């Protein structure tokens, strides 16, 4: 049996190291490399790998968010590649096929590949599905994204539900939360706030705008060759990031 394998890591040297080690495994075929979660989503849909080496920590969409975005039947056998310490991994260690703690040794890598072989040879598909669900439940507790933001409004504190935010706009050292017809000002930089938002739901489309993908209805080209992101409210926002990445992220929401 040939193990069709996908490598997902935002570090080129890390991808190269995994590829070189896999060359020593005669039954492994590397079918692709991805530098981020959005690329991996498209690759999994298109190439259907049996095995995936997946970095936990990646910008925009981390390894956990990638798994959560995939239908259960499309998730390959996963070996995590991570810089998390062992204590942080205990929450999902029992559910993952294996994990490699950077930097890892070739012997440890070979052990992970062997465990993946054993998992793939197992015909207990129901057990594999249950383990995946356990893994995703555990993974959700590791990044920890808030459901509300507290905003000062005069003498009051307003709690804004993050799922209702259309988009976030930078204004110097402040951000403006656009929620329907209401705006809320938060004293925080856009970069800091973005790091606290789920990368599966929120995407920076412009240097000063992070949009809630669940509030997007489409993308519209304009004569300059650029595009506008159209929200459910009818608001149109400039898109200076790649339109293809946005489309891929929307397809897998």
Tens digit of each residue's pLDDT (9 = 90 or more) over 135-152:
555 555 545 577 888 888
Q: How far apart are CA 227 and CA 238, in angstroms?
A: 7
pLDDT for 202 beyond 80: yes
3-class SS letters over the chain? CCEEEEEECCCHHHHHHHHHHHCCCCCEEEEEEECCHHHHHHHHHHHCCCEEEEECCCCCCCHHHHHHHCCHHHCCEEEEEECCCHHHHCCCCCCCCEEEECCCCHHHHHHHHHHHHHHHHCCCHHHHHHHHHHHHHHHHCCCCCCCEEEEEECCEEEEEEHHHCCEEEEECCEEEEEECCEEEEECCCHHHHHHCCCCCCEEEEECCEEEEHHHEEEEEECCCCCEEEEECCCCEEEECCCHHHHHHHHHCC
pLDDT for 90 beyond 80: no
Q: Can you tell me the mean pLDDT for 119-129? A: 61
pLDDT for 244 beyond 70: yes
pLDDT for the residue numbered 137:
58
The pLDDT tens digits for 148-182 are: 888 887 788 888 999 999 999 999 889 999 999 99
The pLDDT tens digits for 37-61 are: 889 999 999 999 999 999 887 877 7
Maximum Cα–Cα distance for the chain, whole Å?
67
The answer to whether the beta carbons of residues 88 and 57 sit under 8 Å apart is no
Give the model's confidence band at 127: pLDDT under 50 very low, under 70 low, under 90 confident, else very high: low
Q: Can you tell me the mean pLDDT for 80-106? A: 65
Say what percent of the chain tops pLDDT 70: 85
> Domain locations in the chain?
3-140, 148-251
Average pLDDT, the chain: 84
- Which of 15-19, 69-73, 102-106, 199-203 shows the lowest mean pLDDT across its residues? 69-73
Say what percent of the chain tops pLDDT 90: 45
Six-digit token pair at 66? 């990638």
Q: How far apart are CA 185 and CA 168, in angstroms?
A: 10
Give the model's confidence band at 198: pLDDT under 50 very low, under 70 low, under 90 confident, else very high: confident
pLDDT for the residue numbered 125:
47
Q: Which CATH architecture has domain 3-140?
A: 3-Layer(aba) Sandwich (3.40)
CATH number of 148-251: 2.40.50.1020
Six-digit token pair at 23? 């060359």
- A 10 A CB-CB count for 7 gives 26
């Amino acid at each position: 049996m040939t193990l069709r394998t996908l490598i997902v890591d935002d570090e080129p040297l890390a991808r190269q190291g995994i590829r070189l080690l896999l060359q020593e495994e005669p039954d492994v075929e590397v079918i692709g490399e991805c530098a981020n979660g959005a690329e991996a989503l498209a690759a999994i849909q298109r190439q259907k790998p049996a095995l995936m080496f997946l970095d936990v920590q990646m910008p925009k969409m981390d390894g956990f968010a990638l798994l959560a975005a995939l239908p259960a039947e499309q998730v390959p056998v996963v070996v995590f590649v991570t810089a998390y310490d062992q204590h942080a991994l205990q929450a999902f260690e029992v559910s993952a096929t294996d994990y490699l703690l950077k930097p890892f040794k070739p012997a440890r890598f070979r052990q992970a590949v062997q465990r993946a072989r054993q998992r793939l040879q197992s015909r207990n598909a129901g057990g594999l599905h249950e383990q995946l669900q356990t893994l995703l439940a555990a993974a959700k507790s590791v990044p920890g994204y808030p459901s509300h933001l507290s905003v000062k409004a005069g003498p009051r504190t307003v709690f804004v539900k993050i799922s209702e935010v259309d988009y976030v706009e930078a204004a110097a050292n402040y951000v403006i939360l656009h929620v329907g017809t209401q705006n809320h000002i938060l004293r925080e930089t856009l970069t800091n706030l973005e790091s606290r938002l789920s990368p599966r739901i929120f995407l920076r489309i412009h240097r000063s705008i992070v949009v809630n993908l669940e509030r997007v209805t489409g993308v519209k080209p304009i004569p300059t060759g650029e595009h506008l992101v159209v929200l459910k409210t009818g608001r149109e926002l400039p898109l200076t990031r790649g339109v293809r990445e946005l489309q891929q992220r929307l397809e897998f929401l």
